[in-house]
Amino acid sequence: MKKLIVLISGSGTNLEAISKACAKGRINGAIEGVISNNPNAYGLERAKKNNLSYKVINHKKFENREKFDEELSNYISSIEPDLIILAGFMRILGKKLSDKYFGKIINIHPSLLPKYPGLDTHEQVLKNNDSFHGISIHYVSSELDAGPLIAQGKFQIKNNLSEDELKEKIHKIEHILYPKIIKEICDDHIHLEGNKVIFKNLKSSNNIIYENYDL
């Protein structure tokens, strides 16, 4: 069974979805620790409810990013995880930390990368009248939202959706696809060699898993 760490900053809905998948045996892994940089994150309540060990490492208490990353790295190292999962973690990891765990950290981002890295993705989708929106799951590198892509889930934008309605649809896809990809990583069906994602017995196109959703 693989050892997992989940990093959060907010409500923790993806943490909840991953935790449930582990509890039901759909993921061959166990969440050994939850880390939040935000002491007020509701995801910490979800961690308590699911009897998960958690730790707050408040970035505001460190004089610089390097000190924060060092504390974060030390705690991660104490657990020796097989996979580090960023689930709404709103801090950019420094190059030293990203390089140390390259190939072991994955992130979920609410856009069809390389479109719209960073923040305000839903707002940009609406502003540009995009026909499709979705999520990307990728390995984390030192460059923001630019690590090797693993999977994307998308849906067609119908009617005049609000930003909140887009977010709701994005969350639905996240809660399905993220646990599914984590399962495949824990089953050794997905791994990274250099900068290339390797899939074993999985259907991919252009070396990415694509899923379409009718929402």
Which pLDDT value is given to residue 144? 84
The predicted pLDDT at position 18 comes to 98
**Using one digit for the tens of pLDDT, what is the confidence trace for 166-186?**
999 999 999 999 999 999 999
Spans of all domains in the chain: 1-101, 109-136+151-215
Are 1-101 and 109-136+151-215 equal in CATH topology?
Answer: yes
Residue 50: closest CA among 80, 24, 81: 24
**CATH 3.40.50.300 describes domain 1-101:** no
pLDDT in tens, 111-138: 999 999 999 999 999 999 999 999 999 9
Distance in angstroms between the alpha carbons of the first and the last residue of the chain: 34
Which of 59, 109, 133, 171 is flagged as catalytic? 109
Architecture of domain 109-136+151-215: 3-Layer(aba) Sandwich (3.40)
Q: pLDDT tens, 55-91?
A: 999 999 999 999 999 999 999 999 999 999 999 999 9
Q: Closest by alpha carbon to 15, among 3, 26, 28, 4?
A: 4
Residue 153, helix vs strand vs coil? strand
**Cβ 65 vs Cβ 57: under 8 Å:** no
Is 210 strand, coil or helix? strand
Determine whether 109 is an active site residue: yes
- Beta strand 149-156 with 132-139 is antiparallel
